[in-house]
A and B are shown apart, each in its own frame.
Chain A
């Protein structure tokens, strides 16, 4: 895969060079021909041949023969093919040039970025997933996370919200922690703790490395246990001319799915039938039904086709001393919900400069401005239901506008969704800058010291305004709010790298360093209500009613002090040893446990380099590796170990409100790190002259001393306390394969990964279980219990419709049961359906995740498509509960309810919906298999040949698509979603629908 791109890249570079030499070309043309062969395979078809300094090129035919026109005797032919080392041959006065291509074993010697350094891929002892920026099809993608979805085995990336600029939740090798954060540590160009979110232009990425096992992550100690994502941005190349790259794409998005709702006529006759079956008068007369037509299709009214455009411009190059990479980006995406969107302006400066032989200074700096127009989505109910929630529940008989042309109000406790989209203003402005500056000083030839200074600041300005034209606006009385947030951190880090010369057979590399990082957080928010005019929006809070003014502010700070080191020892290129150690001190922990230590060790054995290993074409490289180590997690709030006094509940005396102060938590001076012990064994193999390479590994992560918000007896005055209690375990197998299936004129490269995952709660200390997760008046929808996956869905098992009174009489007692109603299983067999009959209905962890990328090239065409699949997991389709058992009568429902049980339609599993018995609403009818296969990315490109005598060196046009196809049984909008963001409790409730995107783009190189 890499080589393929390198070949293309080289080709493009040559195009660039052509530009420079264009005017040297003379016109004396003659023909050269020949045959290209490979040492092992014989004649080679599909080898690219270029006349150096021109754009003139050809490819070898099926027998490896070629014919090309050259001019003059200085001509040099450049031969390149995937899997082979490119060759140059001076033509001289020859008319036949035959060539033997040596296989490219360099693929093995790629360099991989790891914590505080790089290693040769062949020297790697830990588990690192590496992906080249060029491999990520980033067309119309907002963030690194989005582009990484499905690309690396064992890395599960779920979008919490498919809105433009929406957040992602990234889980590497499962979920360790119940309470503390589970998101990985991001390291951008050596600056840890900086999740770039949407601020990074994906084109700036040189490579992304995902550190998975402790051997790789323990160097990040207290922050390593969730895995580490290292992002390296592009640098200018030494002694290369200016390359200007401009990439523009425009696209169109539409929803991947609409839910099938009842139209007005179906809705009216449905409710008439239900009401009559209840013994009530039908709410709609035949005249009503005849007059209504199709009514309002609320989904249609709030969803739209939306455009997206993306411009990326970069300049790179370098002299012997100074290299530069500069980029600018403009990204503008309209959301598929009315009035939602995201824009990003980004700029990057990466510079390196050498001062003499020994000193190098550098700077990497990213700056971005993001604007987000937020559509009101969320987990609210009734009047609090957002645009999608209201659109799915609002009666189709309700109009959008009333007779006066104002947004109509419903008799339902719901806010007009079109009105919400049009009149509620919610926008974020984010100014983000982060970067680092460093000095490398070569003390000796083999000893380098480095000082690294990093900085990150994220300023968020949020404006929120509820006009009174909707019910929710009225509820908030024309509320306006303005909020400022500032997250700032800085880093000071000193490292030294020592590579003593121990002769040819031993290579030793030692790294040591220490660092200090401080994070501060500041927030200020003000709001008011009852505005004299709605024209002010959130721009004049003073115009609100003074008694409704609300002001809050918050400030927090935490620090981390670290010392770390790593030793890499390579004996005879056969035995590889890595040891790392980190000591981290964190302000967040109890006075008794401020500092913790995180060691790791790894060993790899390159069996194929042993003399006894047969020299065979089949297995070119074989390496076994094993690692063990400990890393930590400190992702909890600040001040959690101390007794704190904070704002208590408001007292009201004499009708006047009084603030109070009260203890907010129990002290825990012993609070310490959550630690994950990780064990990993793996095998890397390269077969058939590098045609196939891959790895397989097994891991087991045991997390102990969980930072658990432990439920405690409330007689203490508190419901919970942050304690180091409980264990969890994640284990699985990961498999990666890169295969060059075809290397001829038509090349085909496949990249395949899959991973299995077993997640399990091992212990919760003294507690038998913990129930979590509240939504839509449903409490405790998930279960934490030793022996089962974390936050498994916990509810009643539906067994079908009660067909007769006789069946009810003979069944276990179930409150409010009736013929046509839902029947549930008496799990504990006590003859009664009680909360004890709740059982595990599924879990949100896919048993198997996979990604498959295929790239085909033929002449100047390239076709690439990427599938992601996840299998064996469930998702709580809470949206469907609004159809199963709406919060109020006369709300719209999905069309499937028309198949409800009646005495004449008894062969159905859809209940009759006569009585809305609620306690059973979280049941197996709404816990759905969410397995899916999705065509995430598709790209078809054509690169123009023969650009000689033009000012441009490369021109590619492409068609691209995202989310073009999803195969799933899941009935909601999107099986890959979590309405609770990065929470371990995963649900789908009226989430922002996923968009399908079609783009067309042009990539120009000068």
Chain B
């Protein structure tokens, strides 16, 4: 036993000296530790990049169309493995286990956390004060924007405004009013601090117009027509935006025009896209055997298609009708007709520089047409049929090369409202705002029921992911789930 003790004491001696601690100190080479970072404004910029990176992802259009249009009158999806995700949405049988609903929730909170990291570490850093203020405003906007996207899906959610999070955190959902007050204040704050044109002249960073439009969209969602109308007017008064009228309306989304000043806030895709920096939508759309303009490109098994009934909303001369594919010539020279419920939306076109399944099509969140039509809608709600609403509507119709309407075309504010909703469908299909439009107009459930789906009132909100409920018992699930 003596020898044993001797050895043991030797080890204790060795390990009680500092050498043992040093031996066991963990070194990291590929990752940084916080002490190495947040020393200058450059570090804050690089962290802010991660907030933008969280928002943009290569399936942003696909996921958004599924969750915002496949449960409406516009899109359906067939074939492919992702039918697993689309089928319950189309059929109104989605549950809290839906993977994409979960992914969406998690992505938003990752973005919020990273924005909080920027905000929490910004103050002690010295540097260009003006840029510092912009960084703060960008982070404030991005955080509020993520909350708005969460609110759109789930209603009020936990408000986390610090990066000092802990695994034991079990936050409860904010009240409806706190949630709204928070977003209104933050968008106002951001709007006051953000410049008219993108900071650093980098397209994709939020502007004053983006913050005001987000605020307007929030008011629209709340049916707060007064504030919606006035905030829309604020955007119009900025004098930064106008409608694209320099060609066929569909060319707004072309490579030449996709960064036109009609766009207010978008998720920008790379000019040299790869699997993560481009958008994968198009490969999900075109039919098997389709001949690409810029091959080689991949055609996925999954196919997003347009419901034929939706196409009946278009008048023949409407330029926006050109965005749909009804037939194509295959490799053998045969013309293939796409039949019932089989047309495709090619709103987002091919790019000469594109990866096999990823293109440079930006995903638009907000554009000026929405501001105009929102003000038109709000004024109609506030004042009934009115000329300004007609004029605003006509601005968009004129841009689309379709006949203008007059006050006399409508017998009531309701009729105008319904026409406006159709106009929004024609204008914004494939831009993933249909679900919220239908909800605002109170027809989301009704239209689904008419399609034979077992839709119920509670379906206007998505469920909080079951995984989140299991991890945080303080979260109360939305009604009906």
Contacts and interface: CB of A to CB of B under 8 A. Distances in A.
Interface of A: 381-383, 411-413, 447, 468, 471, 474-477, 496, 498, 510, 512-514, 516, 547-548, 553-559, 561, 563, 565, 567, 581, 583, 585-588, 594-595, 638-639, 641-646, 648-664, 666, 668, 710-719, 721, 723, 766-769, 771, 776-780, 813, 815-816, 834-835, 887-889, 916-919, 921
Nearest to A711: B471
Contact of B88 (A586, A661, A767, A919): A919
A655 B471 contact: no
B360 interface: yes
A82 B129 CA distance: 91
A242 B81 CA distance: 64
B126 interface: no
Contacts of A646: 30-32
Contacts of B357: 475
20 contacts: A382-B301, A475-B296, A496-B3, A565-B8, A588-B26, A639-B28, A644-B33, A649-B53, A649-B276, A650-B53, A654-B268, A656-B270, A657-B270, A663-B163, A716-B167, A767-B471, A771-B467, A813-B454, A888-B79, A919-B87
Nearest to A838: B97
Interface of B: 1, 3-4, 6-8, 10-12, 14-15, 20-21, 23-34, 36-37, 43, 46-54, 56-57, 79-85, 87-88, 91, 93, 95-97, 99, 105-106, 109-110, 112-114, 116-117, 158, 160, 163, 165-167, 169-171, 198, 200-205, 267-272, 274, 276-277, 288-289, 296, 298-301, 355-357, 360, 454, 466-468, 470-473
Which A-B residue pairs are the 4 nearest by beta carbons?
A717-B113, A649-B53, A777-B81, A563-B11
A583 B11 contact: yes
Contact of A510 (B4, B200, B301): B4
B10 A644 contact: no
Contact of B84 (A516, A595, A721, A777): A777
A130 to B, nearest CB: 26
A776 B470 CA distance: 25
A714 B468 contact: yes
B135 to A, nearest CB: 13
B87 A382 contact: no
Contacts of B52: 651-653, 658, 660
Contacts of A563: 7-8, 10-12, 15
Contact of A776 (B12, B81, B202): B81
B167 A512 contact: no
Nearest to A590: B26
B171 A713 contact: yes
B288 A411 contact: yes
Given A653-B203, A717-B110, A381 B81 contact: yes
A651 B33 contact: no
B47 A661 contact: yes
Contact of A835 (B10, B32, B95): B95
B53 A660 contact: yes
A813 B269 CA distance: 42
Interface centre among A498, A648, A717, A719 (most CB of B within 10 A): A717
B166 A666 contact: yes
A556 B27 CA distance: 8
A585 B471 contact: no
A510 B277 contact: no
Contacts of B467: 711, 771
A769 B30 contact: no
A587 B26 contact: yes
A655 B83 contact: no
Nearest to A776: B81
A400 to B, nearest CB: 18
Contacts of A651: 48-53, 56
Contacts of B26: 558, 587-588, 638-639, 641-642
B156 to A, nearest CB: 13
B8 A512 contact: yes
A185 B47 CA distance: 40
Contact of B93 (A476, A496, A769, A815): A815
A240 to B, nearest CB: 35
A511 B14 CA distance: 19
B271 A655 contact: yes
B397 to A, nearest CB: 31
A514 B11 contact: yes
A587 B25 contact: yes
A565 B454 CA distance: 69
Interface centre among B46, B106, B201, B289 (most CB of A within 10 A): B46
Given A556-B30, A660-B53, A713 B471 contact: yes
Given A555-B29, A650-B277, A666-B165, A661 B43 contact: yes
B298 A716 contact: no
Given A413-B300, A475-B298, A651-B49, 17 more contacts: A468-B296, A512-B3, A547-B272, A565-B7, A645-B36, A646-B31, A654-B204, A654-B268, A655-B203, A657-B270, A657-B272, A716-B160, A717-B114, A721-B167, A777-B80, A835-B96, A916-B79
Contact of A645 (B32, B56, B267): B32
A661 B24 contact: no
A654 B117 contact: no
Contacts of A716: 109, 113, 160, 165-167, 169
A668 B33 CA distance: 14
A658 B47 CA distance: 11
A859 to B, nearest CB: 54
A815 B114 CA distance: 39
B169 A653 contact: no
B117 to A, nearest CB: 6
Nearest to B106: A714
Contacts of A642: 26, 28, 33
Given A561-B20, A710-B167, A767 B47 contact: no
Nearest to B99: A779
Given A662-B117, A712-B167, A595 B33 contact: no
Given A561-B23, A889-B79, A917 B356 contact: no
A516 B53 contact: no
A576 B136 CA distance: 71
A445 to B, nearest CB: 14
Contacts of B356: 474-477
B452 to A, nearest CB: 12
Given A514-B10, A594-B24, A638-B26, A918 B83 contact: yes
A768 B117 contact: no
Nearest to B360: A655
Contacts of A815: 87-88, 91, 93
B15 A383 contact: no
Nearest to A497: B3
A888 B80 contact: yes
Contacts of A512: 3-4, 6-8
Nearest to B301: A888
A887 B299 CA distance: 13
Contacts of B36: 645
Contacts of B360: 655
Contact of A714 (B56, B109, B166, B272): B109
A595 B37 CA distance: 29
Given A510-B4, A917-B87, A660 B46 contact: yes
Contact of B82 (A639, A777, A834): A777
Interface centre among B36, B53, B85 (most CB of A within 10 A): B53
A646 B31 CA distance: 5
A714 B7 contact: no
A663 B117 contact: yes
A719 B43 CA distance: 24
Contacts of A921: 84
